[in-house]
A = this chain, B = another copy of it.
Amino acid sequence: MNKKVSLKDIAQRVGVSTTLVSYVLNNQKENRIRKDVAQKIRDVAQELNYRTNQIAKSLKTKKTFTLGLIVADIANPFSSSLARIIEDEADRHNYTVIFGSSDENPQKSRKLIDTLLKRQVDGLIIAPPDGAASQIADLQRHHVPFVLIDRYFPDLKTSYVALDNCAAVYAAVDHLIDRGYRRIGLVTLQSSLYHMNERKRGYLAALKDRNLTFHKHWLKEISPDILKPEIERATDDLLAGPQPVEALLFTNNTVALHGLKYLQSLRLRIPDDLAIVCFDETDALDLFYTPITHIRQPLREIGQQATRILLETIDKTNKITQVNLQAELVVRESTSQMVSKLVHGR
């Protein structure tokens, strides 16, 4: 690699001090510096193809203009869409983003936080995995600027931008009931994360408020490690017996994807045999033969707000901001008014 050009090189070439070069290239003390000297410096900088050493600058100024982003898995469209929005929003303020995937694993998350802090990121945007509460509390104790996204810990008074998950699922289940479905199943992930519990809570609350008795075998909690087989078994279960569910709600995009694939392979007709609601919007949903009713998270809003809040926190340390956003229920044909069963069933 070519020796890199430093302020000193420019200074020598022009015959001035590095201080002066620094002032000129940072547009400081403009009224004090002779125009011709300034121009000369700029010219030489250009000519030598000078590029600020941001590392040196950061060391001195104690600011890296870098944000750390921890998502569950950057390969998951939910994470990567969010990452893209955050990237753009950060860029708008001249920040760049270092990212890492925690794989829902608190050890990895801890290691990532450590790595990012060693690199002196100015702040963190974190989708914390299950079991990361103590790490987050630590961050707070050390006054590291951060914002949680997607998930948060209700016991911890931290900034976050998240969805009102309970309301989101409540609305979806309510909609199913409106459309005539009574036996409604929920396929969700085993997790003690608050946001996942909220989804469960919304489901139960909606059933209760509409006076439907809940049967506990309608609620399937899947181990994230053996997702695919468990989803298939859960689906089989829900559809078996004399009283199969009439509608099914998948509580995130991964579960939905595997679930839909399986339903496809069973040649089930949606919504005639089974109504479907999915959490999260993915390109994939569009390719399913029946357009799928789904819960759309305001990703742009989440990403932008999180970035905005983080940048504010970085600037003036104090204050905590908590944002709860509402999901949108996008109604499609997978939850059309239930007719067939009415005809047959009564």
Contacts and interface: CB of A to CB of B under 8 A. Distances in A.
**Oligomer copy total:** 2
A75 B64 CA distance: 25
A11 interface: no
B51 A118 contact: yes
B59 A56 contact: yes
Nearest to A267: B289
A288 B286 CA distance: 9
A149 interface: no
Contacts of A91: 100
Nearest to A122: B1
Contact of A80 (B52, B64, B75): B75
Contact of A286 (B52, B81, B284): B284
A287 B54 CA distance: 46
A285 interface: yes
Interface string A42-74: 000000010111111011000010100000011
Contacts of A100: 87, 91, 96
Interface in A120-152: 120, 142-145
A217 interface: no
A115 B59 CA distance: 17
Contacts of A2: 142-143
B1 A55 contact: no
Contacts of A285: 287
Contacts of A261: 286-287
B74 A74 contact: yes
Nearest to A317: B1
Contacts of A153: none
B289 A264 contact: yes
Contacts of A56: 59
Contacts of A144: 1
Nearest to A64: B55
Contacts of A283: 77, 257, 282, 284
A35 to B, nearest CB: 27
Contacts of A257: 283, 286-287
Of all A-B residue pairs in the complex, the 3 with the closest CB atoms, nearest first, are A80-B80, A75-B84, A284-B284
7 contacts: A1-B142, A51-B117, A75-B77, A79-B80, A97-B98, A264-B287, A284-B287
